[in-house]
Amino acid sequence: MSEQPVLFSEKACSDGKKIVIATLNAEKALNSLSLEMVDLITAEADKWEADDSVVAILLDSAGDRALCAGGDIRMLYESMVECGDDYNAYLTDFFSREYRLNHRLHNFPKPMIIWGNGIVMGGGMGLLEGGDFRIVTENTRIAMPEVTIGLLPDVGASWFLNQARGNSGLFLALTGAQINATDALYAGLADIFIPHGEKAAMLDQLAALSWGENADENSAQISGVLEALQNQHQAMLPDGQLEHHMSWIEKVTSGNTLEELVDAITSYEGDDSWLSRAVATLKRGCPATMFLSYELNQRGRDLPLNECLKLELTGTVNCGKYGVFREGVRAQIIEKDNDPKFQPATLAELTSEMREQYLTWPWADRESPLADL
């Protein structure tokens, strides 16, 4: 396959119409998003919007393992190491351009179909949640695992996790817990289940439709095709976890402070394997991430997506500035000792002054590159 990091193709439809297909093409890296990939999709999006023959967009990925495992954090780590005090230029540029793409997908005027097969984590969730039709498969593994690497659930998570059922989004943000297709549908983080092997059949059925000029009418047609395919394959849905654990999740996330929530979650001593993994992840997580996950979730409840993305950019840049992101990536990705030395090491040591610093845009002489979003 081509070395181009995003492949663009077309599916011919009736009356000269077409569905354009953007395929993330970094299979060995689990299709992790690079800045080049972000820029390629952004540039093509302008063409798709202007082209009257384009009736829908499908975003998928090369291989069977992942839609997208997140941002290219190895490259971000290298930029922090090589650039010293000026690490923030690349970090800020990367996240601001990625977040602009997220915002663009959420507000795109033509139907956007996202094929969320395999690993869909971090930046991959930003892509999936930007779709009008968020498709999950029998292989889907969704998570926002930033608590382990000293970042924060971003790419709009402080908005879309607030759309999830009950407090499930807050629980997923704090614990990095993995969920599958059934869980994603239950939580409201996905729309449609279709087996991975049916993607070509789906495209054929969409191409056979009679397309009009009205995006809403085209979306209704798409919905009919996708729902019919889902109905044919309901038996393939995997067993979920969220619904079975929702009463417990609601209980432990009902406290009035972050400390109360963390204490309630980490007090679990049962033998449920899914909960045990989530609790263990939180216990070894980054205190600054816990704070940002909670604080941005609370603030995001009353904010539109664009304002959430601005908050997230401040948080991600500060995670770089204060070293927790670099240390988390070192421990989990680079040296793989799984023993990050986050500073501060506990929530109790994360002072009110430190918390305020993480929420404050770090440069008085430079406005946020998302100020106009």
Residue of 70, 116, 122, 123 marked catalytic: 123
Q: What share of the chain is helix, strand, coil (3-state, %, to 5)?
A: 55, 10, 35
How far, rounded to the nearest angstrom, does the alpha carbon of residue 83 sit from its chain's CA centroid? 27
List alpha helices for the chain, DSSP H.
Answer: 35-50, 73-83, 88-106, 123-129, 157-160, 168-175, 181-187, 199-207, 215-232, 242-252, 258-266, 273-283, 287-300, 305-321, 324-329, 352-358
Distance between CA atoms of 328 and 338, rounded to whole angstroms?
9
Residue 123 designated active-site: yes
Whether 100 contacts 107, CB under 8 Å: no
Which pairing describes strands 141-143 and 119-121: parallel, antiparallel, or unpaired? parallel
Residue of 72, 98, 132, 146 marked catalytic: 146
Residue 154 designated active-site: yes
Cα-trace Rg, the chain: 20
Strand partners, 21: 9, 58
Residues annotated as catalytic (active site), given as ranges: 71, 123, 146, 154
